[in-house]
Amino acid sequence: MSRRIVIIGAHAAGVDAASAARKTDRTAEITLITKQRRAGYSPCGLPFVLGGHIPSFDNLVVFPLSYFQMMKLNLLLETTATNIDVKSKTVEIQDKNGKQETLQYDSLILATGASPFIPPIKGREKPGIYVLRTIEDGERIDQAVRNGAKSAIVMGAGLIGIETAVALRERGLEVTVVELLPQILPAMLDADMAGEVQRMLEEKGIRIMVGKGVEEFLGAEKVTGIVAGGEQLNADLIIAAFGVRANTELARKAGITLGETRGIKTNMRMETNVKDVYAAGDCVECVNLITRRPTLCQLGTTAVRQAKVAGTNAAGGYAVFPGVLGSAVTKLFDTEIGVTGLTEFFAKKAGLETVTGTITSKTRPEYYPGGKGIRIKLVVEKESERIVGAEIIGGEEVTQRVNALSIAIQKHMTVRELAKADTAYAPPLNETWEPMVLAAQVALRRLR
């Protein structure tokens, strides 16, 4: 009899888990369940459709329905998993018409993702607060802009909040960003690097208020403004980007253990505490490769890597997921921003004593036209001299430097070794002295 694999969730983690399972077991019956009308699309692209860089939300669909047919995957759209019985190995589901059904499984993969949350702020129950998590969310914001919205308030200055603010500014709106913490991109950058990005965003016309909490949502029938830091702000569009919470209620009800971050706890094979139940993606707690402590790393790259492991193991193969560094990049207007490993702030929080090396350089020699500025900050553990983090802001070539430093951290490279690295140079492509090497040399001087 064929192995029955049920996957709850059909986006990055769900579809990649299904693909890995199919490649491992050609005969398995694989069913994917999603509440949404569309499956297999990239939510990371939503701000870039809003900003006009990608023509349509339809372009974000990475896996069209033909892919599911080709891979012999049974896709159930607009269907909700309502209960899991781990003893009888069943999942209860309900479609949009209310029809209920029970699916039997041999292996179950939870790829339930995460959902936006709004803190308990006065007036939050009123309609008119937008979020950006699904294609439908993106279409609603896009329609509001097409209908004549001229101003927007984005509450939250994390990655999605800032990308959304930039997108709306690119569409010509007056944009204000409100952030409770004293800096923007607090999970991604240290205060000194975040300050550089904030200055650039303000030069582009985005108003940024840091250290200001949202105290109230204003408006009679719908939200038309907020009170933040004692100041009343009004706008046509009010967007909540406070962050997301892992969708774990279904798992918790089924007796599946949650970790200290409130994500689903798994081992390196992405197995939960319940036999034959796996998990992957934004709902899962994993291990930080430097601190060895639990973390929630809600990135698309993490989701697909976990999913490949979960899908392979659920189909009878063997694979492991070692953990994360949280490597991430983005592009805001013409500025690229990247990070890997720990910031100076989070290293200190983890009990590591560090030194840093920061350098401002150019991506090409001064005499070659078109070179762009680049700023690199390395975080180095003092005792071992190991590189434990890097932050980069620049006009170009940020991603591959972040990738190179991610590999360096994973291979336990010391700053001394990086300072001696053999790097490439050509006038149209790079400086004689690679900026990463220069940053390493600054860090070495501080170590001495």
- Indicate which residues carry an active-site annotation: 44
Q: How would you classify residue 193: left for phi > 0, otherwise alpha for psi between -120 and 50, otherwise beta?
A: alpha
Distance from CA of residue 60 to its chain's centroid? 16
End-to-end CA distance of the chain: 66
- DSSP state at residue 286: E
Helix axis angle, 159-170 to 191-203, nearest 10°? 10
Phi/psi at 308 (5° precision): -60, -40
- Is residue 78 within 8 Å of residue 35, measured between CB atoms? yes
Report the run of H or E that residue 328 belongs to, with start and end. strand 328-332
Q: Are 433 and 359 in contact (CB under 8 A)?
A: no
What one-character DSSP code corresponds to residue 369? Answer: T
Q: How far apart are CA 332 and CA 200, in angstroms?
A: 9
Of the candidates 84, 114, 119, 117, the one whose C-alpha atom is nearest the C-alpha of residue 102 is 84
Q: How far apart are CA 132 and CA 36, in angstroms?
A: 14
Q: Counting every residue, how long is the chain? A: 448
Q: Decide: residue 279, CB within 10 A, 0-12 exposed, 13-18 middle, 19+ buried.
A: buried
Give the Cβ contact number of residue 152 at 10 Å. Answer: 26
Question: Kindly report the CA angle at 137 between 132 and 141, in degrees rounded to 5?
Answer: 90
Contact predicate 261/95, CB 8 Å: no
Q: Which residues contact 162 (CB under 8 A, 6 or more apart)?
A: 154, 177, 184, 185, 197, 201, 330, 332
Question: CA-based Rg of the chain, rounded to a whole angstrom?
Answer: 23
